[in-house]
Structure 1
């Protein structure tokens, strides 16, 4: 069976037309340029948003953002026949693995913000690892083979497996997004103060937009437009990562806000609240500035004075030997 016998096989690397279509080439160039712009902006945001450069969330977000650039570059070299070789294919394959699985790890890392079940976190991480092994390795072998001298042996398998792995990774990201949305909605509904309806709506819209982008990628891929499909994937993943910043900061504000009536809230450094697996109590640490604001609050000062007086009154050494006047002098000191 030749590659021409397979429906939609014109999107394979080996079966791609050498002349191409001007409209497709223009779309490829535009989508790649936008994806690169978003990637550069994401890299800058990673180093300016986070105060502490560490944790699974930060590194996965950074690696996924950087991978968009070589992913688009590798396919540009192939599509426009600039440097159609194994180097270009290997570059885009490595970037593809880091971009796709990195995006899933970003979604998994932010689950620590709303999910407190170790079982759910372990099973979702196991799903990401197993899917990476099952789908990345065969797809990479088939794509390298479809670009070799024996392309007729690998292209049919690559055309079929490309669709399978794309759907599998889309379902994986949809599962992570649904778990995140469900837990976030349940958590925000338990908040006793504040109106979080706007945050809930934005959260659901963002996750719905991510699912719609995956559906668009699948639709373009099944239409046989391989060149547009791969560049649309780079564009979609760059937008997904930007949407992380759009909603995550607001969710951190909502889930960590305290003293709603006085307007004092906890800090919103994402590095303190996302990927809390390093914290055994799974609680976001507060910095010195937030602690100072909390302890400078008049209500907290009065509460500490009350606790101090009750502690002294319960001490037998004070209650037996000290008079009321001496107790007041002790409290004043």
Structure 2
């Protein structure tokens, strides 16, 4: 058994140490500790002020750059798509802000801009009954318009229906007469009735080119990958049917690149042969890229533009 005197000695030692600490803290060490703490606080305040100044300067530069680019945007694209009829195809999840910004850039370019085609989520749903229903609708509409069935590399039948409704053709080099306005209207109406697209006044004249704006894929795993490839297949189909097409997407919103149609298009060239892509459409530079990339498509070229590492260049050549 431990003697009670041991406890008294231990307690006394603790009290003595505490007393010594108090005496030193209030005496000889007080000034040193206070000065050290004051110096550290002053240093931290200085660092905070410096970081704040750096942030303010960076924000000012970024704001000035954005204003500069916005002012130049209309001048850089002016006349690039004059006399060309262009349609926007807006995929599920695309941000309204991006759609508005790209639309404004296309109008600044002189393009005759058709009413946007908004694709509903039902277009890409992967359940077997959904796929079967889309296939049935697409095949019936193609047959009613006396259009050939989808080939092995043609994606979904509804992709070909939308492409034909927009361009009036089954391919960019089609030999047959283009579809009449009423025939194209019937294709649009069939897609609307099947709840695959929202109704729009996009018929008008057939379009020359198409800009496809991709959005967030809300599935993961195999289902998400299938949705991603389905969206890319639609862009590739309208590219084959029109004189040119550009796929654009704000990939900064995508964590998994396997769920980005644009990233997959750049990685798997066989799925996007002939299609141009533009990342960063939320930036003025990206909006310029969309216009110039589409103009390049009309001239027979293609490329992948923007700020990502997999872009072939930041900007399509201006000396076309």
Give the TM-score taking structure 2 as reference length.
Answer: 0.25
Greater radius of gyration (CA): 2
Give the TM-score taking structure 1 as reference length.
Answer: 0.24
Q: Which has the higher helix share?
A: 1
Bigger relative contact order, structure 1 or 2 (CA pairs below 8 A, ≥6 apart): 1
Q: Which has the higher strand share?
A: 2
